[in-house]
Amino acid sequence: MSGRSLVYLHGVEIERVKGVGGRLGPKLREAGISSVGELLMHYPRRHVDRSLVVPISRVPPATEVTVVGVVRAITSRRPRRGLTIVEAQVVPDVDYEIRSAPEGVVAVPLDEASGMPVMTFASHREAASWIAAEVPGIAARTLGSLWVTFFNQAFRERQLPPGTEVALSGKAEHFRGRLQMKSPVVDVLGRAGHRRTGRIVPVYPSAAGIASWRLEEMIANALRRSRPLDDPVPEDVLSPLGLVSRDEAVSGYHFPDDERGRVEAHRRLVFDELFRLQVALALAKHRLVDESEGIAHTLDAGLADAFLEALPFALTRAQLRVIDDIRRDMASPHPMHRLLQGDVGSGKTVVAMAALLTGVQGGYQGAVMAPTEVLAEQHFLGLEPLVRRHAVRMALLTSSSPDRESTLERIRDGTVDIVVGTHALIQEGVRFRALGIAVIDEQHRFGVHQRVQLREQGDGPSPDLLIMTATPIPRTLSMTLYGDLDVSMLDEMPAERPDVTTEWVGADDLPRVYNRIREQAETPCGAAPGGRKAFVVCPLVTDSDKLEAASAIAEYERLQGVFADLRVGLIHGQMRADDKREAMAAFRGDRLDVLVATTVIEVGIDVPCSTVMLVEDADRFGLSQLHQLRGRLSRGVGPNWCYLLAEPTTAEAQARLAAMVATNDGFRLAEEDLRIRGQGTVFGERQAGSGDLRLADILRDATVLVAARRAAFSLVAADPDLAGHPGLREEVRVLLGDKVDWLFRS
Ligand code: ADP
Ligand code: MG
């Protein structure tokens, strides 16, 4: 190879860069930049194109603009206690300013230390042509000043000494004959007189307080020494996609010649981030599926078929297709590694049960894992009735199960067919006689390496794995978070479901909501005895089942007063499993009209006569959680109403509520959620994906993501050890770090 690779540069200490002496080295290291490679990956936050910025002399008032100029003077004063005003005069970035003076027209050097003379001319025109001839390339105009004011930002005086070149973004106003800008956004570009090339200036995110222009210098120095950069991505991947070389991309993104170059460079760097991740996922999938020994389950033993035939409804086409995918995987000698996606109510439970029984019918055991004990109980309550008539032995295992020891024993000796519990079920080495299939309810994220851990339990063949997402996730996100899995979609709802009208209400609307609940209780529910029913969901209390239960109890007591004429019940996570079951049975049968509940009702609760839901303090719930809750409605009769009681204080919460009102479509809500929260928050901490995406945005860059994925998977299919692509292999290993270590252990 001819040039330097990024991996090599990640091994070159930052102190080797020209200009990084003395105190800068430790500062950069503190900011996470300890090598030349990391410095080169400290990308500009944005670029300022000087040819597009508005000249100071022509700034329109009261409009958001960006101007570039040089600080001419800066002063600060304290008119009274608690108020510091810093005022800077900013002038256009030219070497001379032309002004009228008593002695005629003068050209005054802006950088007074430069030794250039003050010149006197007969006219402005004469002055301008002299400057143009004397200092080629510098436009001299008769120029105004912009007066910039900062309140209580004393540090500006140190940040912006005279001679500093700045980009200012804000609104200018004419005030007492001056053009003034109050508290603009400031980007320090550099030092005037420090002649720069190119008209597009990178603006760097501050690293440990180091100014953008100093980072720019260091990066320019580092680039000069490191180029040309090696390209680890094969030409036959790059050229069909029209991607520029690594070398062009890195230097062209820091220091673009023009906007087009900046866009091309950006596209390649985004591709690289996504491609590295997809190569890692492709390698993971290869290790987990193609190279692993699994169980070839039998499809003909009859139990799964008998179960499906006994269902009181016909399966949807989507369910049939997905069950088919699963059976094909399960019959193959490689372990299944599949993600099942479907909106609330799309019928995932039946599909999961078909998979479990496909294992059970051949003498294997199944496990269902939920992220919390409460959810595990809910799953158990939802699944168990489905197989009661098929002589399948099911057990619930939680840390608080009274019969825990005997259940463990039965799991060991094989007298339990399907066990439901939390992830601890297999992570803490509960011994199965023969675990054949695990279904994971992916309410919370379960990282790739956790899936690996799970696989590496025990030394027999790997069980099949079906991961279910209770809420849909945008396709681009699932390609990133679950890129090592095959995906099945339940994209068809079982039957027309009655409409749900969602309304965002305030405290003033409560009487109207309560009337709706009363009116529905008096409306017969079709064939079922009694009236229609309402859920009242109590405020979420983060991280405390106890406090959440307390608030539900208080609300239950209050609502018994409000609905003196109705039968009000209560369910929360701190109740004993028996009591919960009893509360649900009373609500489903005709012994309750209103059920006050915590989020324990989020999954698996199916009460056809429920037509109203009131979610209190709805702004405290996440979007996917609200969608799950609303999914408890519309289970049989209609119309249905979902009231979200909230007086949100943040823009984010308002956006969530507005999204809920706007659509019922889980996939649209999922995209909206990603947009509102940003991708940073949806990646698990330790998961590959989070810190590795600096420039890529999986929503905006969806097309690049799809291309990167396709390229990565076909490359790994042809070269599963990347033996023919050592540069790429090293780059994935080094840049993705310990998250992918396991991939490179033999
Ligand atoms: P999910 O878990 O995907 O939210 P469920 O599996 O709980 O959905 O199914 C929702 C409801 O639809 C349940 O009452 C279930 O019995 C019912 N159901 C599932 N599949 C069908 C079908 N093919 N036809 C009619 N009803 C169905
Ligand atoms: Mg379900």
pLDDT one-digit tens code per residue, 503-521: 999 999 999 999 999 999 9
Residue 385 lies in a domain: yes
Please check whether residue 735 is in contact with residue 279, taking contact to mean a CB–CB distance below 8 angstroms: no
The interaxial angle of helices 259-285 and 448-455, nearest 10 deg, is 10
Nearest residue (CA) to ligand 1, atom 1 = 345
pLDDT tens-digit map of 55-87: 676 777 787 788 888 888 899 999 999 999 999
Last residue of a domain, one of 218, 241, 258: 218
Does ligand 1 have an atom closer than 6 angstroms to the CB of 348? yes
CA dist 340 and 322 (Å) reads 8
**What per-residue confidence (pLDDT) applies to 507?**
94
Nearest residue (CA) to ligand 1, atom 14 = 606
Q: Which atom of ligand 1 is nearest to the CA of 314?
A: 23
> Average pLDDT in the 620-641 region?
88
SS3 content of the chain, % helix, strand, coil (to 5): 40, 20, 35
Same domain, yes or no: 656 and 517: yes
> DSSP string covering 219-237, please?
HHHHHHHHPSBP--S-HHH
CA dist 244 and 270 (Å) reads 12
Residue 523 lies in a domain: yes
pLDDT tens-digit map of 180-222: 999 988 887 776 544 454 568 888 887 887 878 788 889 999 9
Does ligand 1 have an atom closer than 6 angstroms to the CB of 345? yes
How far, in Å, from the CA of 606 to the mean position of ligand 1? 9
Cα R_g (the chain), whole angstroms = 33
**For residues 104 and 134, which has the higher predicted lDDT (pLDDT)?**
104
How far, in Å, from the CA of 343 to the mean position of ligand 2? 10
Same domain, yes or no: 123 and 184: yes
CA dist 122 and 558 (Å) reads 88
**What per-residue confidence (pLDDT) applies to 460?**
76
Q: Which atom of ligand 1 is nearest to the CA of 348?
A: 3
Counting the structural domains of the chain, the total is: 4
Residue 596 lies in a domain: yes
How far, in Å, from the CA of 461 to the mean position of ligand 2? 29
Does ligand 1 have an atom closer than 6 angstroms to the CB of 218? no
The interaxial angle of helices 303-310 and 348-360, nearest 10 deg, is 150
> Residue 435: is its pLDDT beyond 80?
yes
> Average pLDDT in the 402-429 region?
86
Give the list of residues 6+ apart from residue 706 with CB closer than 8 angstroms, or none.
476, 479
Same domain, yes or no: 353 and 471: yes
Say whether the peptide bond before residue 639 is cis (omega within 30 degrees of 0). yes
Six token digits for residue 441: 């309810």
- 307 by DSSP, 3-state: which? helix
CATH number at 397 reads 3.40.50.300
Does ligand 1 have an atom closer than 6 angstroms to the CB of 349? yes
> Residue 385: is its pLDDT beyond 90?
no
Residue 169 lies in a domain: yes
Nearest residue (CA) to ligand 1, atom 21 = 494
Q: Which atom of ligand 1 is nearest to the CA of 604?
A: 7
Report residue 148's pLDDT band, with 50, 70 and 90 as the boundaries: very high
Does ligand 1 have an atom closer than 6 angstroms to the CB of 491? no
**What per-residue confidence (pLDDT) applies to 55?**
67
- The residue behind tokens 């994935």 is 732
**For residues 137 and 548, which has the higher predicted lDDT (pLDDT)?**
548
Nearest ligand by distance to the CA of 345: 1
Nearest CA-CA partner of 209 in 330, 47, 30: 30
CATH number at 170 reads 2.40.50.140
Same domain, yes or no: 309 and 448: yes
pLDDT tens-digit map of 2-52: 579 999 999 999 999 988 877 889 999 998 899 999 999 999 988 877 666
> Average pLDDT in the 712-741 region?
89
Same domain, yes or no: 166 and 72: yes
How far, in Å, from the CA of 451 to the mean position of ligand 2? 22
**What per-residue confidence (pLDDT) applies to 612?**
97
How far, in Å, from the CA of 345 to the mean position of ligand 2? 7
Same domain, yes or no: 356 and 386: yes
Same domain, yes or no: 438 and 316: yes
Does ligand 1 have an atom closer than 6 angstroms to the CB of 359? no
CA dist 32 and 41 (Å) reads 11
Nearest residue (CA) to ligand 1, atom 23 = 315
Last residue of a domain, one of 190, 218, 246: 218
Range of the domain at 132: 49-218
Mutate which of 313, 341, 441, 493 for ligand 1 pocket (most atoms within 8 A of beta carbon): 313
Same domain, yes or no: 330 and 475: yes
Residue 352 lies in a domain: yes
Same domain, yes or no: 415 and 528: no
pLDDT tens-digit map of 458-494: 567 889 999 988 777 777 788 887 888 888 989 888 8
Note the Cα 145 to chain centre separation in Å: 44
pLDDT tens-digit map of 644-672: 999 998 888 999 999 999 998 888 888 88
**What per-residue confidence (pLDDT) applies to 458?**
56
pLDDT tens-digit map of 545-577: 677 777 889 999 999 999 999 999 999 878 887
> Average pLDDT in the 295-318 region?
93
How far, in Å, from the CA of 36 to the mean position of ligand 1? 55
DSSP 602: G
Residue 202 lies in a domain: yes
Same domain, yes or no: 346 and 392: yes
The beta strand positions in 10-110, using DSSP E, are: 46-49, 64-80, 83-91, 96-101, 104-109
Residue 340 lies in a domain: yes
Nearest residue (CA) to ligand 1, atom 27 = 494
**What per-residue confidence (pLDDT) applies to 239?**
95
Same domain, yes or no: 188 and 332: no
Compute the residue count for the chain.
746
Does ligand 1 have an atom closer than 6 angstroms to the CB of 184? no
The interaxial angle of helices 702-718 and 259-285, nearest 10 deg, is 50
Nearest CA-CA partner of 187 in 152, 225, 216: 216
Nearest residue (CA) to ligand 1, atom 11 = 345
Same domain, yes or no: 513 and 429: no
Last residue of a domain, one of 169, 196, 218: 218
Does ligand 1 have an atom closer than 6 angstroms to the CB of 315? yes
Does ligand 1 have an atom closer than 6 angstroms to the CB of 627? no
Does ligand 1 have an atom closer than 6 angstroms to the CB of 606? yes
> 46, exposed or middle or buried, with CB in 10 Å at 0-12, 13-18, 19+?
middle
Residue 715 lies in a domain: yes
- The residue behind tokens 């069980």 is 463
How far, in Å, from the CA of 349 to the mean position of ligand 1? 7
